[in-house]
Amino acid sequence: MVAFNDRRNKTYSSVDEVKGGLPLNEGDTLPKNLIDGRYVVRGEKTEQGREFVLHEVLPNGRVVERGRSDRRYKATNLSQQIDPTRVYDI
């Protein structure tokens, strides 16, 4: 039997549901809301300043990094341009 989970069918309602899967360090920031119920932009403190990392939350709860940017709005725009990840469980 094959189980197919299309990312577009599963959404999360708050960042609190997924922040356990994020690689959080001291000085990192999180938004209050998810983008489209599946993306979160994390502000990561670096030596050069701040970098914004786009993460996608998969249906199984795993969080994967999808991109990095020097501005939050660029990472948010990236979330609207990329296709959701599809997960196949065999």
The answer to whether residue 3 scores a pLDDT higher than 60 is no
* Higher pLDDT among residues 37 and 86, named by residue: 37
Checking 27-36 for CB contacts under 8 A at 24+ apart, the result is: 35/76, 35/79, 35/80, 36/11, 36/79, 36/80
Q: pTM for the complete prediction? A: 0.81
Q: pLDDT band at 7, cuts 50/70/90? A: very low
